[in-house]
Amino acid sequence: MSESRDIIILGGGHNGLVTAFYLAKAGFKPLVLEARGVVGGCAVTEELAPGFRCSTLAHSAGPLRADIVSDMQLESHGLKQIRPDVRVFAPAPDGRAILMYDDVERTAESIAKLSAKDATQYKEFSQVLARMATSLAPVMSATPPSVASPNTGDMLGLAKTALGVRRLGKKDLYRLLRWGPMAIADFVAEWFETDLLRAIIAARGIFGTFLGPWSAGSTTVYLLRATADTHPAGPSIFATGGIGAVTQAMAAAAIAAGAEVRVNAPVTEIIAKDGKVTGVRLQNGESIAAKAVVSSADPKRTLLGLLDPANLEPDFMMKLQNFRAVGTVAKVNLALSSLPRFTTATDENALKGRIHIGPEIDYLERAFDHAKYGEMPTHPYLEATIPSLSDASLAPAGKHVMSVYVQFCPFKLKNSDWDAQRNALGDLMVKTLEQYAPGISRLVEHRQVITPKDLQETYGLTGGHVFHGELALDQLFAMRPLLEYARYRTPVNGLYLCGNGTHPGAGLTGASGANAAREILKDLG
Domain of residue 270, CATH code: 3.50.50.60
Q: Cα(178)–Cα(121) distance, rounded to whole angstroms?
A: 19
- Overall number of domains in the chain: 1
Domain contains 261:
yes
Domain contains 200:
no
pLDDT (tens place) for every residue of the chain, 525 residues total: 568 999 999 999 999 999 999 999 999 999 999 999 999 999 999 999 999 999 999 999 999 999 999 999 999 999 999 999 999 999 999 999 999 999 999 999 999 999 999 999 999 999 999 999 999 999 999 999 988 778 877 777 777 776 766 778 888 888 999 999 999 999 999 999 999 999 999 999 999 999 999 999 999 999 999 999 999 999 999 999 999 999 999 999 999 999 999 999 999 999 999 999 999 999 999 999 999 999 999 999 999 999 999 999 999 999 999 999 999 999 999 999 999 999 999 899 999 999 999 999 999 999 999 999 999 999 999 999 999 999 999 999 999 999 999 999 999 999 999 999 999 999 999 999 999 999 999 999 999 999 999 999 999 999 999 999 999 999 999 999 999 999 999 999 999 999 999 999 888 999 999 999 999 999 998
Q: Cα(510)–Cα(467) distance, rounded to whole angstroms?
A: 13
Q: What is the DSSP string of 305-354?
A: IIB-GGGS-HHHHHHHHTS-----EEEEEEEESS----TT-SSGGGGSSE
Q: Where are the beta strands (DSSP E) in 56-117?
A: 81-82, 86-91, 97-101
Q: Cα(394)–Cα(486) distance, rounded to whole angstroms?
A: 40
Domain contains 216:
no
**Are the beta carbons of 518 and 502 closer than 8 angstroms?**
no
Q: Is the pTM of this model over 0.85?
A: yes
Domain contains 26:
yes
The pLDDT tens digits for 204-248 are: 999 999 999 999 999 999 999 999 999 999 999 999 999 999 999
Domain contains 490:
yes
Domain contains 431:
no
Considering only CA atoms, give the Rg of the chain. 22
Q: What is the DSSP string of 116-172?
A: HHHHHHHHHHHHHHHHHHHHHHHHHTSPPPPSSS--HHHHHHHHHHHHHHHTT-HHH
Q: How far is CA 134 from CA 188, 294, 350, in A?
A: 20, 30, 29
**Are the beta carbons of 263 and 13 closer than 8 angstroms?**
no
Q: Which domain holds residue 263?
A: 3-46+56-80+242-323+464-524
Question: Strands 287-295 and 276-282: what pairing?
Answer: antiparallel
**Are the beta carbons of 407 and 207 closer than 8 angstroms?**
yes
Q: Cα(23)–Cα(12) distance, rounded to whole angstroms?
A: 14
The Cβ of residue 442 has, within 10 Å, a number of other Cβ atoms equal to 11
